Structure 1
Amino acid sequence: MSVLRKNIAFNTLLSISQILFPLITFPYASRILGPAGMGAINFADNIITYFLIFSALGIPMYGVREIAKVKGDPIALGKVFSELILIHLITSLLSVVALLVLSLSTQRLLANFQLYQIGMAILLGNVFIAEWFFQGIEKFKYIALRTVLIRLFTIVLLFVLVHSVKDLNTYYALNLVATVFAAVTNMYSISKIIKVSFRNLAFKHHLKPLLVIFSNSIITTIYLVFDSIILGFLTSNIHVGYYASAMRISKLSMVVIGVLSAVLLPRLTIAFKEKNWEEAKMLLHKSINFVMFLSIPIAIGTFCLSEEIIRLFAGDQYLPAVGALQILSFIVIFVGMAQVFANEILLPLHHERKILYASLFGMVVSLGLNFLLIPHFKESGAAITSLTTEFTVSMVLFYFSFKLFKLNFPWLESIQAICTSLTFFIVKMLVLKVTTVPVLVIIITVLLSACIYLVSQLYLWKNKHVLEVLSGFKIFNFSGGSR
């Protein structure tokens, strides 16, 4: 299991970078570009996200599973990779043409046409990143180190090139720079591992599962980003900017919760394929406990410090986003559980259709609530819709997953985590008597609250999983059985 521990460690490093780097770049960019500028970028980015999902055709999820199955056979590995990347290239070319036509024929998009030109280049570059290949063969060290280095480079470019709202296009083009560097380095690395050939390829057996996963991706994307698009059409870029800042901050916490999913998917695929139910149960039990142990204090802590977080990372001009952030702070719990049910149970067991059904239900809820709430509550209405949608999708996935694979959900541990996390409000109230400087309030409250939370888990609740982490074992002891 030492390899698994290393994979988790490097994926944790990757996740930490996904949190720390936006903490550096977002405060700077949000102040330079303002709510309207950030709103314009977020609106364009959400449009382009749809085309990225269409061009990917479900390959990022499907590819990990299929690569994991044949990673011990270089010939089969090369064949599967060649088939999937060719499919991705064809769909990406179609997506570029469709995005070009849409951006030229829609005045709302034509007003920022350069952003969509950059998006077209990102669409093509994204084909050759092929992150799913490295996840499938469990090269998480390579993924983490490469990503961190590229992000460091783009941070330098941000401070060198972006100085005013006129640099709107330059700011968004940094995504293209990162895409190109990732694509070049990945294709070079892949060429050293396998032989890419486009002869004697077979596509038919990929199409059915790809279409199911693709349909799920499209539907999921509708309820994940359509709120910003509806908000943009029904209100203005300023309200999109408020909502985007709240959503971006709330998404930082989701990164931590997603650490295990990418690492466990190849392992669970093999465990389910070999019908090794005990190993699968042990891995899933650890994963669910990990999600609940972290997501509950993160959610309550974000709610507690929402005003200070907005002031520090976005600026006072974004204070109207505080309400939206308070609502969105709890989304991390439901997204974390949905990842476990969908990516670690249903997908490895080849029940993609059940993920699709859950996403369809979420899409209906999202569309209905967005049009009902946004005209009256603007960014807060979009936030309520997102939270409600993620909750309903998580519950549907919970139902499907537990019918297939019986697990003991940590209800007691979850209640204990909630009770302990409520002390964060008392801690903040005491800290505010000493200082009201946002950065100091956040740092002191987080440190004191984290200590209270860990001590309570260890000595009050005697949480076995925390004891396991802090009593001389490796950070995640996946070699032990479930309790």
Structure 2
Amino acid sequence: MSSIKKNFIYSSLLTTTTIIFPILTYPYISRVLGVSSFGLCNFIDSIINYFILFTTLGLSVTGIREIAKVKHDSIALNSTFSSLITLSLVTTVIGSIILVIITFSVPQLFENKGLMLFGLLKLIFNSFLIEWFYKGIEDFKYITTRSVIAKCLYIIAIFVFVRQKSDYPIYYLICVLLIVFNAIVNIVHSRKFVKFSFHNIRILPYLKPFVTIGAYNIMISLYTTFNVAYLGFKCGDIQVGYYTTATKLFAIILAINTAFSGVMMPRMSSLIAEHKFEEFNHQLKLSIELLLSFVFPIIIFTIFFAPEIIDVVSGSGYEGAITPMRIIAPLFFVVGYNQILIIQTLMPLNRDKIIFRNSMYAAILGLILNILLVNTLECIGSAIVWICSETFLMIASVINLKKTCPLCFPRKLIVKNIITMIPLSVILSGIYFCSMNSIIKICISGLIVIAYCLI
């Protein structure tokens, strides 16, 4: 079995746990904490994630790409690893100081300084997470094993220690300790492959992609992470609870394609380095076919059964998440295709400037739409901002790739898939209007969608 198949199997297993574990904990947490406390935790976490974004910048992509290039040269591997983690530690120290200052300066954050200090712990240990290293050396077996063990401990802690609405600080601390655990294990395990040394540290060669790709991530965050923070400041914790409920369920399902892109990223970088362009193009076509094989049935399923999904997963009080969930349903295709265009194509081709420029335009659009829509439409406005910005990014990336890579937008294949979805839409509409239990509806329609995908 080829290494890429093994990696995809491990990544698929990891993705399966990524889907199953939230399904086990999410209904419990959302019901125990309630929409307000749950929204507060997500609001604080969005701010912490924003600091993580600024301190890591483009490290995840740069790390994978650079480690993949030197993984067979131990001296170069040690130098690259030491240089990248030093760069990360420097930015983390700066970010931590700024985070402490704003925590004690902004009244809304000072009121929740306990959660913010937990978040500081998450920010610090995130610099030791080094997932980029293991993806760069393509050790997906270790990543999967460690993640499964960590998530099992996380689930046990959630059910044991989070018992009532006032336990929301404990819930957030458990989420932070998950990062701490993974970081400690990763650093200890990395000593089998690489040694950190202050000798031969070269930060300058990595600084440009670190900043450029980081700028791309920051731009993207203006209509993803920033959406949550802006919504929290302008509209309160309840609207954040609605929006994060809709988007978190979306993220669980999208994890399938994200796992595949994560496996393909280091491999595509290696193919470019080895000048194997025919195989590179072949792998891109396979990625597109894989995406289209399951994405449209999921979109239709989500649009029809959003009320039932919200009811089963989150319970009463989260009805405000239904409309945002329906609005962002097409993002299963848009974001999935963007991952192919950017993570599997533009990044391995080192088209960092194109990525930055496209994301900057999309971010400007997202920022303008946030100001125009969120104050009045609240969480629905945030959903509209996200889908408009991602769609713009996809269109811009398609236009740029026509000039640099023979990857055409699969219009005919998309039209063909949409036509074949008509019978499925009729079947699901019939089930939707039947008077039956929400769980039964989801189970029956879910089995039909899976069967339809396979056929």
CA drift of 1:381 comes to 1.0
Gap regions ≥5 residues in structure 1 = 456-483
**Which stretch shifts more, 227-236 or 136-145?**
227-236
CA drift of 1:421 comes to 2.8
Distance (Å, rounded) in 2 between the aligned partners of 1:404 and 1:263: 23
Match of 1:127 in 2: 127
Spell out structure 1 runs of 4+ moving beyond 4 A.
Answer: 432-435
Distance (Å, rounded) in 2 between the aligned partners of 1:422 and 1:39: 37
Match of 1:286 in 2: 286
Amino acid at match of 2:89: L
Distance (Å, rounded) in 2 between the aligned partners of 1:446 and 1:224: 28
Match of 2:93 in 1: 93
Match of 2:148 in 1: 148
Match of 1:181 in 2: 181
Match of 1:406 in 2: 406
Give the count of matched residue pairs.
Answer: 455
Amino acid at match of 2:170: T
Match of 1:276 in 2: 276
CA drift of 1:165 comes to 1.5
CA drift of 1:425 comes to 3.7
- Identity, % of aligned pairs? 32
CA drift of 1:432 comes to 5.0
CA drift of 1:256 comes to 1.0
**Contact persistence 2:358–2:393 (CA under 8 A):** yes
Match of 1:50 in 2: 50
Alignment of 1:236-385 (within 5 A): 236-385=236-385
Q: Say yes or no: does 1:221 pair with 2:221.
A: yes
Match of 2:33 in 1: 33
**Contact persistence 1:42–1:244 (CA under 8 A):** yes
CA drift of 1:388 comes to 0.7
Distance (Å, rounded) in 2 between the aligned partners of 1:417 and 1:192: 47
Distance (Å, rounded) in 1 between the aligned partners of 2:244 and 2:331: 15
**Which stretch shifts more, 304-313 or 409-418?**
409-418
Deviations 1:353-397 (A, max 9, x none): 111111111111111111111122111111111111111011111
Distance (Å, rounded) in 2 between the aligned partners of 1:389 and 1:364: 9
Sort the Cα spacing of 1:276 and 1:107 in 2 relative to 1 into closer, same or farther, 3 A. same
**Which stretch shifts more, 200-209 or 429-438?**
429-438
Structure 1 length-normalised TM: 0.91
CA drift of 1:428 comes to 3.1
Structure 2 length-normalised TM: 0.97
Gap regions ≥5 residues in structure 2 = none
Distance (Å, rounded) in 2 between the aligned partners of 1:114 and 1:122: 13
Match of 2:386 in 1: 386
Match of 1:480 in 2: none
Amino acid at match of 1:133: F
Distance (Å, rounded) in 2 between the aligned partners of 1:423 and 1:40: 42
Distance (Å, rounded) in 1 between the aligned partners of 2:237 and 2:176: 23
Match of 1:136 in 2: 136
Amino acid at match of 1:155: I
Distance (Å, rounded) in 2 between the aligned partners of 1:453 and 1:79: 46
The Cα RMSD (Å) is 1.4
Distance (Å, rounded) in 2 between the aligned partners of 1:360 and 1:424: 38
Deviations 1:152-206 (A, max 9, x none): 1100000000011211111111122211211121111110112221123121111
Distance (Å, rounded) in 2 between the aligned partners of 1:40 and 1:391: 29
Match of 1:77 in 2: 77
Sort the Cα spacing of 1:453 and 1:271 in 2 relative to 1 into closer, same or farther, 3 A. closer
Deviations 1:222-274 (A, max 9, x none): 22122222211221211111111111111112111212211111111111122
Distance (Å, rounded) in 2 between the aligned partners of 1:453 and 1:188: 42
CA drift of 1:315 comes to 1.0
CA drift of 1:453 comes to 3.9
Match of 1:206 in 2: 206
